[in-house]
Amino acid sequence: MNRRTLARIGVLATQTLLVLVIIVALTFMVFSAWPADPALLACGRPCTPDRLESARVFLGYDQPWYTQVWNYLTGIVAGRTFGEGAGAIHCDAPCLGYSFRLGAPVTSLIASRAPVTASLAIGAAVLWLLGGVLAGMVSALRRGTFADRGIMALTVVGVSAPSYLLGLLGILVFGFTLDMVPVANYVPFSTSPIDWAWHLVLPWTVLAFINAAVYARLVRGHMLENLGLDYVRMARSLGLTERTVISRQVLPNVLTPVIPLVALDLGALLGGAVITERVFSMPGVGSLLMDAVGQTDLPVIVGVTVFAAAIVILANLVADILATVLDPRI
Amino acid sequence: MLPRSPHPRRRRLRAAAAALAAGAMLALSACGANDPSRNTGAVGTDTGTQAPAAAGELQVLSSSNELNLDPAKSQSMAVTSLALVHRRLTTWRVEPGQEVEVVPDLATDTGTVSDDGLTWTYTLRDGLFFEDGTPITAADIKYGLERTYAPALSGGLTYHRALLAGGEGYTGPYEGQHLDSIEVVDDSTIAFHLNQPAGDWPWIASTPAFSPVPEAQDDPESYAREPVASGPYRVASANVGVEVRLERNEYWSSDIDQMRTAEPDTIVWQLGQDTQTTTQRLLNDQPANAISASLVPASTLAQLASDPASQDRIVTSDPGPLQYLSINTERVADVRVRQAINYAVNKAAVLIAMGGERGGAIATTYISPGIPGREEYALYGTEPEGDVAAAQALLDEAGVSSLDLVLLTRNDSDSVARSEAIAQGLSRVGINVTIDAVESATFSERATQGDGSSYDLALGSWNPDYPSPNANLRPLYHSAEIGQGGYNTSRYANPEVDAAIDAAAAEEDPEVAGPMWAAVDRMIAEDAPSVPLAFARNSFIGGSAVGNYYVEPFPAYPNYLVLSVEG
């Protein structure tokens, strides 16, 4: 890695931090303009005007918006306290807000659910990367054959089918009808690695099928393009076996644009595979968000949005760095 | 291009295909993934379908991500989750085919009231203990109530706060201040001093706030997950968003608790479960020892109509919770027009949108069935399709030939279907309805928070927090409940009705109060601030091993206190 590459990574990191701060502020402002009053959740029944006002004061919603944004930003760095004295609620740094409804800091809510989402996303990513690249290679090398057409037809299904449809179909066919896989819930890896994987097989497959389609098409296109280039003809004429040509010469060139894409897709999933988690009753970050939206639990909505944005931005950074390292021309 | 040299690759592909096939066989051989007898050894996160149906374990499959067990923050009923862990001063007797009754719980009776109606006194039973063996005293009840005033712990049912004297400006016990209107007479006697007579007080004493909380063990940040139990179960483990496991509280005794049978050894809440999957699982009886905490949706009910086997799994209440159409009295000011709307609505069509006979029954009163004091009457005819001629006559009399109204509704498919049925019914008399379907939160904001200028009609549903006409009529029709979070979405203000509600609410003798409430119901109906559309039936689904699973019109939820599980 030369000095120029390092400098570029430094610039990228600075940009990332700046974008993060802006996103936090923007997210907070957008949700402050939410039509519903977030203090209503903390008002109780019957809700009287003075109780609503005291809930607003307690949660800090009585402050002007810029003060709220500032409190939120400082809360991430230094933590926050709601209320005063022995009855106060503490939210340790990095404080992404406090869910009055769930009685817990948003940060700890996300932290307790992140492993579920990570298990789901990373497992699926491995599957779709393997599946997508393999399918794309087969398709390109067997161009025009039955296998090629079959794979390309499948990718159309994968790209266009919504995850809830595939998820529900999968549960119906493999869970209820064939009784091959469990239909709901998550088992932590630390409890039982086998059951962990066992419960995740179906969601992994569904997510992988949807995402692999894009990769198969991408790999096929790049592969065909590369196979027609001079360096391949050169390698073949030097007497290298086809196997060596594909694995040593073509594949690295094909994978250069694929790897950063994995980082991006994985980042998006880590922020919460919203629909998939809900369909499979997995207690991940996405299902936390779904629930919060249904209940207008604003601190959770804001917190998860900020978290998801941060992950996507970090994934972008990783993708940029990977691209820089893999291809020094960038 | 050079000729391909495919042989090595072909061999590899064959190997891959063989591996795939082997994998598929392996997967197929693993049939029985959802067999309840298969033990995965999962601890903490129970695997639901795969967990052993341990003798005496009841599972509650909940779509919610939380199970809040802090009585100050709870809005739950006296016969559901929270009541398994916390006892209150009074509770409900909910038995099949009988009207719900308020009965003593921690107290020896449902309360003794002073002659002026301002002081209610309760005596605690002997031999009451928390889960750690410390005795439950009157001071624990007082402390539990005081903490409902703390801003950090608001969000629960707080009917007592409007009634206890001197509560204005009180902010809870954490700074050492106490509320004098809750008087600890001695260890087993507690007295409440009210600012006005309240006939409902015995019912209010059954709300979660009247649970004992030991001051020494109260941490407002964690009490929702680590409460100190007074009921038959204590929290064994609580994993936020995943699972809450209740186990027996050794210090609870059935000798001094007649309402809780406490048959299961453990009760486990599985949180964040997809309702559709849950329904399907329970239809397959997987697991047999579970119930769903959610209503069976109207669409699913319709599908199951043709499946007789499903009927063994589903319990349905008689018609209960009121579904109604509010008419904004500030914008539709002419009472004749409002009465015409009452005649013109096609309630039969609304009922079809609710899933037909399985979804409910047509309503003509505001007080819902199952609530003491209710009298049946029909001021605007009994024709299910409505009375178009009568409606037209009233509109002609009012000199209205065409009318454009905005109907505010939540945007879920059930609500929109009902709104369409209403619009169609009203179009028969030349009333043109525009349906304004919005997000649930936006609905609340516009209907209960704003100045009411954005809608003429609003679709609502009401199940009171406790079975008294006061909890049924006051929130919907008292002028003090307009805007600022109140549920009087008709924005109906009639001083005579207000006075009649207040008078009936102050009456302590239910026998006397009953007819007073029935009269209020009629009095409101004459002003036609809303159209009672239907009384909904609630359906729930449970596994075959669950016993005592029934739903009454009120509370329209199963009685969790008596559920049993076959071992």
Q: What are the domain boundaries of chain A?
A: 3-106, 107-297
The structure tokens 């998801």 sit at A308
> Contact A48/B153, CB-based, under 8 Å?
no
Query: Helix, strand, or coil here: A70?
Result: helix
The structure tokens 């329970």 sit at B282
Query: Helix, strand, or coil here: B244?
Result: strand
Q: What's the DSSP call for residue B164?
A: B
> Contact A168/B276, CB-based, under 8 Å?
yes
CA distances to A44, A46, A54, A274, B484 from A49, in Å:
11, 10, 9, 36, 6
Q: What is the pLDDT of residue A93?
A: 86
Distance from CA of B46 to the nearest CA of A (A): 7
Q: What is the pLDDT of residue A176?
A: 87
Q: Which of A273, A269, A264 is nearest to A164 (CA)?
A: A273
Q: How many helices (H) and strands (E) does chain A have?
A: 13, 4
Cα nearest neighbour of A147 on chain B: B13
Q: Which among B146, B154, B270 is the top mutation candidate for probing chain A, defined by the most A β-carbons within 10 Å of its own β-carbon? A: B154
Q: Which of B555, B30, B61 is nearest to B270 (CA)?
A: B61
Residue A131, H or E segment? helix A106-141
Among B32, B152, B240, select the one facing A102 at the smallest CB separation.
Answer: B240
* CB < 8 Å to B45, chain A: 185-188, 191
Please list the alpha-helical segments (H only) found in B289-412: 298-304, 335-344, 347-353, 388-398
Which A residues in the span 230-249 are in contact with B, Cβ-Cβ below 8 Å? Answer: 236, 241-243
The ipTM of this complex is 0.85
Q: What is the pLDDT of residue B66?
A: 84
> Contact B68/A141, CB-based, under 8 Å?
no
Among B68, B224, B274, select the one facing A279 at the smallest CB separation.
Answer: B274
Distance from CA of B278 to the nearest CA of A (A): 9
Name the phi and psi angles at B526, rounded to 5: -65, -30
Cα nearest neighbour of B471 on chain A: A46
Query: Residue B18 is encoded by which pair of tokens?
Result: 């063989």
Q: What is the dihedral of CA B485, B488, B493, B499, to 10 degrees?
A: -90
Q: Which among B1, B37, B47, B501 is the top mutation candidate for probing chain A, defined by the most A β-carbons within 10 Å of its own β-carbon? A: B47
The band of A9, judged by pLDDT with boundaries at 50, 70 and 90, is: confident
A42 touches chain B (CB under 8 A): yes
> Contact A46/B485, CB-based, under 8 Å?
yes
Alpha carbon distance A166, A276 (integer Å):
9
Query: Helix, strand, or coil here: B388?
Result: helix
Alpha carbon distance B260, B304 (integer Å):
32
- Please state whether the predicted TM-score (pTM) of the whole model is above 0.90: no
Domain spanning A107-297: which superfamily?
Answer: MetI-like (1.10.3720.10)
The structure tokens 């109604």 sit at B324
Q: Which sign, positive or negative, has the C-alpha torsion B147, B149, B151, B157?
A: positive
Q: What number is the average pLDDT over the span A290-302? A: 86
Q: Which of A17-31, A279-293, B12-26 has the lowest mean pLDDT?
A: B12-26
Q: What number is the average pLDDT over the span A5-21? A: 84
- By CB neighbour count within 10 A (0-12 exposed, 13-18 middle, 19+ buried), where does A71 fall? middle
Please list the alpha-helical segments (H only) found in B30-102: 82-85
Q: Which among B217, B274, B473, B477 is the top mutation candidate for probing chain A, defined by the most A β-carbons within 10 Å of its own β-carbon? A: B274
Q: What is the pLDDT of residue B27?
A: 41
Cα of first residue to Cα of last residue in chain A, in angstroms, is 13
Cα of first residue to Cα of last residue in chain B, in angstroms, is 73
Q: What is the DSSP string of B252-285?
A: --GGG-SS----SSEEEEEPS--HHHHHHHHHTT
Alpha carbon distance B287, B61 (integer Å):
10
Distance from CA of B389 to the nearest CA of A (A): 40
> Contact B65/A291, CB-based, under 8 Å?
yes
Distance from CA of B476 to the nearest CA of A (A): 12
Q: What is the pLDDT of residue B33?
A: 65
> Contact A186/B242, CB-based, under 8 Å?
yes
Q: What is the pLDDT of residue B70?
A: 95
Q: Which regions in chain B score pLDDT beneath 50? A: 1-31, 36-54
User: B231-241 b/e with 16+ CB inside 10 Å = b?
Assistant: bbbbbeebbbb
Alpha carbon distance B538, B551 (integer Å):
8
* CB < 8 Å to A90, chain B: 221
Q: What is the pLDDT of residue B44?
A: 35
Among A40, A42, A172, select the one facing B444 at the smallest CB separation.
Answer: A40
CB pairs below 8 Å between A and B: how many? 218
Residue A153: CB partners within 8 Å, gap ≥ 6?
none
**Of A272 and A310, more confident:** A310
Cα nearest neighbour of B49 on chain A: A182
Q: Which among A202, A281, A300 is the top mutation candidate for probing chain B, defined by the most B β-carbons within 10 Å of its own β-carbon? A: A281
Alpha carbon distance B431, B118 (integer Å):
49
Distance from CA of B430 to the nearest CA of A (A): 33
Residue A233, H or E segment? helix A230-237
Distance from CA of A330 to the nearest CA of B (A): 32
Q: What is the pLDDT of residue B19?
A: 44
Q: Which among A37, A41, A47, A134 is the top mutation candidate for probing chain B, defined by the most B β-carbons within 10 Å of its own β-carbon? A: A47
* CB < 8 Å to B32, chain A: 179
